[in-house]
Amino acid sequence: MTSELDIFVGNTTLIDEDVYRLWLDGYSVSDAVALRVRSGILEQTGATAAVLQSDTMDHYRTFHMLERLLHAPPKLLHQLIFQIPPSRQALLIERYYAFDEAFVREVLGKKLSKGTKKDLDDISTKTGITLKSCRRQFDNFKRVFKVVEEMRGSLVDNIQQHFLLSDRLARDYAAIVFFANNRFETGKKKLQYLSFGDFAFCAELMIQNWTLGAVGEAPTDPDSQVDDMDMDLDKEFLQDLKELKVLVADKDLLDLHKSLVCTALRGKLGVFSEMEANFKNLSRGLVNVAAKLTHNKDVRDLFVDLVEKTPLQTPGPRKWLPRAPTVGVSLKAGREYLPT
């Protein structure tokens, strides 16, 4: 006796969160069944392994059918085939677009191309995340990138509107898209200590302050065709950063800069005293990095340079190292003190 066909279709589509997680994590049906058995579900419910197998298959099939819709989440809301309560729909989308920290660190700043996709098996081996899951995450990044790439307006808003993600997740995707677009190098060993969160923070500040959208906050001419307002760095701004050299060259300006920065940051920074003590070195390093940002290559190496060529990295114990927040603040400070 073999089961040829075994299905269960509810008027309201049944979604089992645990099975969904296993599916997203890329486990095969048999692995998922084994994992479920290990979770003790059989003892709790008195079910048999066959029942579990059939249940898992059903859910996997449902998810497989839903996947097409999840690629364009607004479709999931309007489709008629699966009757799913809105709260469940939100959960499906959010989980589908969620990603692993380990994975995103591997691809952050890389071109979302076929070439990168080929490397996914290596990433899978390295991170222990199943290849299937890696592919889903990679495809998600790429899909979001493709959709918002050509769009005007706020990156976060665009992502939210087209993928119905939570604010938090939409911001993360904005960072991923921003990094992918500018191809910032994040994979170097020296940068390994930085988390995705650190980069995302930087990305947010850079989007707010360094991009065309940021510069043209109130665009004088709304029709002026500037695509990718939030994605591309403002070339003019980068050009202008060269002018910052005065902050290092001129002692008075250096002092003035220092006092202004210190006033702004006093009490807001855990490593304030170290920062204050090292301000001159810090400032010189940052200004040197900033001044070079006119070349694409240097833009890509921004984070490497920040770590290598500024005292952010070199001296002292790592614990005080001003990780992303300070880098961010410095970058922001750079903009604020730009001679106008």
Asked if residue 11 binds another protein (CB under 8 A), the reply is: yes
Asked if residue 264 binds another protein (CB under 8 A), the reply is: no
Q: Which stretch binds another protein (CB under 8 A): 45-53, 177-185, 220-228, 255-263?
A: 45-53
User: Please, what is the minimum distance in Å from the beta carbon of residue 28 to another protein?
Assistant: 15
Residue 12, classed as helix, strand or coil, is: strand
Contact predicate 71/143, CB 8 Å: yes
Query: Which residue from 18, 21, 71, 79 is in contact with another protein, where contact means CB under 8 A?
Result: 79
Nearest to 186 by CA among 255, 101, 121: 101
Q: Which stretch binds another protein (CB under 8 A): 79-87, 161-169, 244-252, 307-315?
A: 79-87
What values do phi and psi take at 262, rounded to 5?
-65, -40
Asked if residue 8 binds another protein (CB under 8 A), the reply is: yes
What size, in residues, is the chain?
A: 340
Helices (H), 119-233: 120-127, 131-149, 155-163, 167-182, 196-210, 212-215
Query: Which residue from 24, 55, 99, 173 is in contact with another protein, where contact means CB under 8 A?
Result: 55
Alpha-carbon torsion 321, 325, 331, 335, what sign?
Answer: negative
Give CA–CA dist 330/307, Å, rounded: 13
Q: Which residues of 203-214 are buried (b: 16+ CB within 10 A; e: fewer)?
A: bbbbbebbbbbb
Asked if residue 146 binds another protein (CB under 8 A), the reply is: no
Q: Which residue has the tokens 């994590």?
A: 25
Query: Which residue from 77, 102, 147, 253 is in contact with another protein, where contact means CB under 8 A?
Result: 77
User: Please, what is the minimum distance in Å from the beta carbon of residue 66 to another protein?
Assistant: 10
Query: Which residue from 61, 132, 143, 152 is in contact with another protein, where contact means CB under 8 A?
Result: 61
Judged on CB neighbours under 10 Å (0-12, 13-18, 19+), 189 is: exposed
Asked if residue 49 binds another protein (CB under 8 A), the reply is: no
User: Please, what is the minimum distance in Å from the beta carbon of residue 12 to another protein?
Assistant: 6
Q: Which stretch binds another protein (CB under 8 A): 2-10, 107-115, 291-299, 310-318?
A: 2-10
Give CA–CA dist 272/211, Å, rounded: 28
Q: Which stretch binds another protein (CB under 8 A): 1-9, 122-130, 143-151, 331-339?
A: 1-9
Show the site string, 86-125: x = touches another protein by CB under 8 A, - = not: xx-x------------------------------------
Residues that bind another protein in the complex, under the rule CB under 8 A:
1-14, 45-48, 50-52, 54-55, 57-58, 61-62, 64-65, 75, 77-83, 85-87, 89
